[in-house]
Amino acid sequence: MLGSLPKAEWLLADRGYDADWFRDALIDKGIRPCIPGRKSRSKAVRYDKRRYRRRNRIEIMFGRLKDWRRIATRYDRCAKTFLSAVALAATVMFWL
């Protein structure tokens, strides 16, 4: 799975992805992890708290996309048609 990650500057994730091997693999690929440490971790992990708080904007956007029945149930089986429906829904959401 890590081999198929696209080129990115940051990876935002929640505490469920807090593992040293995962952090090391991201750093090896040149991706900076923004993952808070679990509460049971003995040594605190540094992460960009401001960037992590902004993560909810992305989650809200996906939640709004799922309000569109066509996207939530994936009526379109062709990837190209599905992506065009997502683009159309995102455009309408942006203007409203």
Contact 13, 36 (CB under 8 A): no
Those residues whose C-beta lies under 8 Å from the C-beta of residue 43, and which sit 6 or more positions away, are 37
User: pLDDT tens-digit profile of 10-44?
Assistant: 989 888 889 999 999 999 999 999 999 888 888 88
Residue 35, SS3 per DSSP: coil
Determine phi and psi for 47, rounding to 5 degrees: -155, 160
Contact 19, 37 (CB under 8 A): no
Residue 16, SS3 per DSSP: helix
pTM of the model: 0.65
